[in-house]
Amino acid sequence: MRRALLVSFLFSACVTLQPPSAPDRSLQADDAVNSIAFSADGKLIAAGLDSGSIWVWDAASGERKAVLSGHQKGVYGLAFSPKDGILASGSYDGSIRYWNVLKGSEARPATRGKQAVEALAYAPDGSRLAAAGWNNEVHLFEGSAMKPLLGHSGAVQGIAFSADGKRLASASDDKSIRLWDAANGAPVGVLDGHSSPAESVAFSHDGTRLASGGFDHTLRLWDVASKREAGSVEAGEKAIYSVAYSPDGKLIGTGGADGAARLWDAFTLTEVRPLESHSRTVNSVAFSPDGRLFAAGCDDSTVRLYAVDRAH
């Protein structure tokens, strides 16, 4: 369950919304889904559950491939390495674990900390792993070395690398978005605009735009070069917990506490087509690497997969 401690284009010619699109497939887990991630080749989709386990399915067939157990609390961060396919998972138990999914076992010893882990992200070349959580810091791991990125005054809820690997963005309960030099961890900018905690961030494919979502119900767009807001829209009736850019940069997906996953034109911020609502909070959304699937993970223990070409 999400954040209990905070208590609660494609074508711009689309003006009239069509009836909600039903999912093409629904994957059933046995507890609330806090986070989801596709493997770099798009063949697998993983879900981090509130029970602490991780379920992995074949993205094409829906066949369950693995259940990974080891965390003692909910899994809120998931990221597949583009380099070797290792799945990293971060939990409220303070640990980061590294999994060989096909073997169903841990690939190397866990990284252990004292604070809950909220988000994970691999650099595009797999050389670095960023982790964020309740200690108000972003931790940048490269091999056995760890560099803390300091500046936020609240828990860090979301992180993302740009596609070229040069920038890292973080979203925090302090309402700000921060930009970092991903190579050395130096701060390069602060984006202020959210009126409540910021929850999630995602870069466009070319790195020129950044999308963010937060407790103020808004989806915001930022120009990365000027560090100015480029647009915003009320993207739900409640908090927006997750945002994702499509690989071609034309769509932005959102999910939030109102139980709705939505697709937006990334240029006009108009809703492309509503998707069939979940019965409970949507905690995490993601596009497959080829952009053909949009996935939404929810408190109702499901991951719903929508074919993008039929969902708009």
pLDDT tens-digit readout, 64-97: 999 999 999 999 999 999 999 999 999 999 999 9
**CATH topology (fold) of 193-312:** Methylamine Dehydrogenase; Chain H (2.130.10)
pLDDT tier for residue 13 given thresholds of 50, 70 and 90: very low
Instruction: Give the whole-angstrom CA distance, residue 57 versus residue 5.
Output: 30
So what's the pLDDT on residue 225?
Answer: 97
Q: How far apart (Å, rounded) are the C-alpha atoms in residues 108 and 127?
A: 16
Query: In this prediction, what percent of the chain has a pLDDT beyond 70?
Result: 93
Q: Residue 3: what pLDDT?
A: 47
Per-residue pLDDT of 197-250, as tens digits, reads: 999 999 999 999 999 999 999 999 999 999 999 999 999 899 999 999 999 999
Q: pTM for this one?
A: 0.92
Q: What is the pLDDT of residue 10?
A: 32
- Taking CA atoms, 52 is separated from 35, 111, 288, in Å, by 11, 16, 24
Q: How far is CA 253 from CA 4, 202, 270, 271, in A?
A: 23, 10, 12, 10
pLDDT(11) > 70: no
Return the SS3 of 309.
helix
Domain residue limits, the chain: 193-312
* Tokens standing for residue 81: 């390495």
Pairing of strands 282-287, 54-58: unpaired
Structure confidence at residue 311 (pLDDT): 60
Q: Which residue has the tokens 């999308």?
A: 211
Write out the two tokens for 295. Answer: 């996935």
Tell me which residue of 182, 242, 236 sits closest to 207, measured CA to CA: 182
Query: Residue 231, exposed/middle/buried by CB under 10 A (0-12, 13-18, 19+)?
Result: middle
Q: Assess whether pLDDT exceeds 60 at residue 18.
A: no
C-alpha 43/C-alpha 63 separation (Å) is 11
Strands 218-223 and 209-214, how do they pair? antiparallel
Q: What angle do CA 87, 130, 164 make, to 5 degrees?
A: 95
Q: Spell out the residues 6+ positions from residue 232 whose beta carbon is closer than 8 angstroms to its own.
A: 193, 218, 219, 220, 221, 269
Give the Cα separation of 112 and 92 in Å (integer): 11
Name the DSSP letter for residue 4. G
- Band the pLDDT of 21: cuts 50, 70, 90: confident
Strand pairing category for 64-68 and 75-80: unpaired
pLDDT at 17: 43
Q: Is the pLDDT of residue 33 over 50?
A: yes
pLDDT tens, 238-254? 999 999 999 999 999 99
Per-residue pLDDT band for 279 (boundaries 50, 70, 90) equals confident
Which comes out higher in pLDDT, residue 185 or 310?
185
